[in-house]
Structures are given as structure tokens and as C-alpha cells.
Amino acid sequence: MTQARWEELLQDLKQELETLNSSASGGRDAVELDQSRVGRLSRMDALQGQAMNNAIAARRHNKLLAIEAALERLQEKEFGYCIKCGDEIALKRLELDPTVALCLNCSK
């Protein structure tokens, strides 16, 4: 894997998340519009769904931050090295999730 390939991969991931984010906020608006004409119970359902959407959005946001950080490490030529001990991160680990910043030992 070259640096350029990793960057491409991370940009793809980022794009994907950003697309998901914009469709998710559309969903949130729909919930709010519905609230005026639904009953108490279904409004609770809607709020619960909204809370879940928010949790998902928060997770996506964290993932986005992790991607940004990984892209930054690429720029600094530090990508692929553990941010804690400086050891090389196993390729298999990076292939599974290119945003990992810790080697296997440090993530335990």
C-alpha cells in the first residue's frame, strides 16, 4: 500500500460518511414536521428514533474526526505508526480500519 492509496481510501470513507450525514439530517427534519400531527405515543416513538439518529450522527462525527486525523498523519508521514509507542501498526489492522492510530499492544 502506498501513501497515495491510503489517502484515496480515507477520502472515499470520508465522502461516504458525508453523504450519509446529509441524508440523516433530512430524516431528522421529517421527524420534526410529523410531530404536530401525531399522537402522544407515536411522538414518543419519533423522539426515540430521533435520539437514535442523534447517536448515530455522533458516531459518524467521531469517525469523521478519526479520518481527518488519519489524513493528517499521512501528511506528516506518520501514518501507519502507533501514536502511543511509535511502532508500526500491522498492515492487516490498517486494512480493516485505516483510521486506527494504535498498534495492537497499545489498543489493549
What is the spatial distance between Cα 77 and Cα 1, in angstroms, rounded to a whole number?
Answer: 14
The answer to the question of residue 103 lying near Zn ion (CB under 5 A) is: yes
Number of residues that bind Zn ion (CB under 5 A): 6
CA separation for the pair 48, 42 (Å, rounded): 10
Q: b/e string for 29-67 if b means 16 or more Cβ within 10 A? A: eebeeeeeeeeeeeeeebeeeeeeeeeebeebeebbebb
Among 8, 54, 84, 97, contact with Zn ion (rule: CB under 5 A): 84
Closest separation in Å from C-beta 85 to Zn ion: 3
Among positions 17, 46, 57, 106, the unique one binding Zn ion when judged by CB under 5 A: 106
Q: Which three cell numbers stand for residue 103?
A: 498498534
Residue given cell 480493516 in the structure block: 96
Nearer to Zn ion among residue 64 and residue 78 (C-beta): 78
Pick between residue 12 and residue 88 the one whose CB is nearest to Zn ion. 88
In the bound state with Zn ion, the residue whose beta carbon lies nearer, of 45 and 87, is: 87
**Is 28 or 93 the residue whose CB approaches Zn ion more closely?**
93
Q: Which residues lie near Zn ion (CB under 5 A)?
A: 82, 84-85, 87, 103, 106
